Amino acid sequence: MAELFEIPDGTPLMGAVTFGLIDRGTNVIQVRPSTSCPLNCIFCSTDAGPYSQRRRAEYVVRLDHMMEWFRELVKVKGSGVEAHIDTVGDPFTYPQLVELVQEIKKLEEVRIVSMQTHGHLMNERILGELAEAGLSRINLSVDALDPWLAKRLAGTEGYDVERVVANARYALENTSVDVLLAPVWVHPLNDSELEGLIALAKDMDAGRRSPPLGIQKCEYHRFGRRTKEMRHVSWYTFYGKMRELEKKTGMKLVIRASDFGIRPARTVEAPFRVGERLMVRIVGPGWLNGESLATTRDLRWAVTVVGEELPAGEEVRVRLLRTKDSILVGRPS
Ligand code: SF4
């Protein structure tokens, strides 16, 4: 069982893929306040959930700490920002989710606050509170409407797709929160569900201020989960399938970033290159087994150290293996 680790004050909230903020050079800021998840999806690319085999720690970031860093980054971005709460688990596990949305939405630069979830922890009360706090949209992953298959994909007997859909309808009919259905296409397990999900998006009038549906390609990661029956789908096959379904159903399924108003924006970039060596200080356990969490000496960047579980306080020299999107991963060298 992974230990719950509160990110210590003073830890930089940029540089890690698992917590804090991610800036990929657009007007979207990804906000990751917690890493936990109540489900165990059999296709989970981040190996989340109670039965995770690889997680060493579940992170949580204090609200004040998060907002301190968010305010700085949003100033760089300027107006028209979308804050997208999209964790490596499920955002509904964050105990101060409503307050987080409220604080983000107060900032004049922020136009949209959106969230990515499988919706297992949604209920009418929290949807009402999130609407009042200023949540604009939920991207809701519903991967199958057949209750048995939905449980199987979610890896949890307790997952109730009918309740999730009922809550999504409640949000659309009774609150200002928009809902976009974002099923993951887990070929071939839910091939037969895609048309039903498209029909559901139409029926519930999803996507009032955004596309109603954005089918996601199931991505396989080295540390993610998969089963023997699952088959990898190339981008060529994926878009071919989307066009075929578009013709059949009349629903737009090939979606571009511009459909969400995403555009390039000023960015804060880590000044490092792959292969560069630097000294980092360990501040806590890594997210996965065999990893440690560190910061640069100037406390500007978080660094994931792979290959060793080192004690907090130790200084170590690492060689950077990844710097893309200012996500820093290094190995002791
Ligand atoms: S796919 Fe999402 S909801 Fe499912 S286990 Fe992974 S993080 Fe949780």
- Separation of first and last alpha carbons in the chain: 30
3-class SS of residue 172 = helix
Rounded mean pLDDT, 49-56: 94
- CA atoms of 253 and 241, how far apart (whole Å): 10
- Res. 290 pLDDT band, cuts 50 70 90: very high
- CA atoms of 301 and 164, how far apart (whole Å): 37
Minimum CA distance residue for ligand 1 atom 1: 44
Minimum CA distance residue for ligand 1 atom 2: 89
The domain that holds 301 is classified in CATH as 2.40.50.140
Reported as a single tens digit per residue, the pLDDT across 53-76 is 999 999 999 999 999 999 999 999
Same domain, 255 and 305: no
Same domain, 142 and 291: no
Asked whether residue 266 is assigned to any structural domain, the reply reads no
Whether ligand 1 lies within 6 angstroms of the CB of 46 is answered as: yes
- CA atoms of 172 and 169, how far apart (whole Å): 5
Asked whether residue 253 is assigned to any structural domain, the reply reads yes
Q: Which domain holds residue 146?
A: 3-260
| Residue 221 in this model has a pLDDT that exceeds 90 | no
Minimum CA distance residue for ligand 1 atom 4: 41
Whether ligand 1 lies within 6 angstroms of the CB of 218 is answered as: no
From 18, 43, 44, the mutation candidate for ligand 1 (largest count of ligand atoms within 8 A of CB) is: 44
Whether ligand 1 lies within 6 angstroms of the CB of 304 is answered as: no
- CA atoms of 215 and 239, how far apart (whole Å): 10
The domain that holds 237 is classified in CATH as 3.20.20.70
Same domain, 239 and 328: no
- CA atoms of 330 and 104, how far apart (whole Å): 31
Same domain, 253 and 303: no
Structure tokens belonging to residue 308: 């060793």
| Number of neighbours of residue 315 by Cβ within 10 angstroms | 11
Question: Which has the closest alpha carbon to 84: 118, 116, 46, 45?
Answer: 116
Rounded mean pLDDT, 272-298: 97
Domain endpoint, select from 260, 288, 307: 260
Atom of ligand 1 nearest to the CA of 117: 3
| Residue 123 in this model has a pLDDT that exceeds 90 | yes
Q: Name the strand (E) or helix (H) holding 168.
A: helix 161-174
- CA atoms of 267 and 254, how far apart (whole Å): 27
Same domain, 162 and 307: no
Asked whether residue 272 is assigned to any structural domain, the reply reads no
Asked whether residue 283 is assigned to any structural domain, the reply reads yes
For residue 221, CA distances in Å to 43, 70, 148 come to 10, 28, 26
Same domain, 291 and 233: no
CA of 176 to the centre of ligand 1 (A): 26
Asked whether residue 270 is assigned to any structural domain, the reply reads no
Domain endpoint, select from 260, 289, 304: 260
Whether ligand 1 lies within 6 angstroms of the CB of 186 is answered as: no
- Contact call for residues 126 and 95 (beta carbons, < 8 A): no
- Res. 149 pLDDT band, cuts 50 70 90: very high
pLDDT in the model for residue 298: 96
- CA atoms of 20 and 25, how far apart (whole Å): 16
From 41, 116, 190, 223, the mutation candidate for ligand 1 (largest count of ligand atoms within 8 A of CB) is: 41
3-class SS of residue 177 = coil
| Residue 222 in this model has a pLDDT that exceeds 90 | no
Supply angle C-alpha 4, 9, 10, rounded to 5. 130
Q: DSSP characters for 175-186?
A: SS-EEEE--EE-
Same domain, 219 and 324: no
| Residue 220 in this model has a pLDDT that exceeds 90 | no
Same domain, 148 and 90: yes
Same domain, 314 and 165: no
| Structural domains counted in the chain | 2
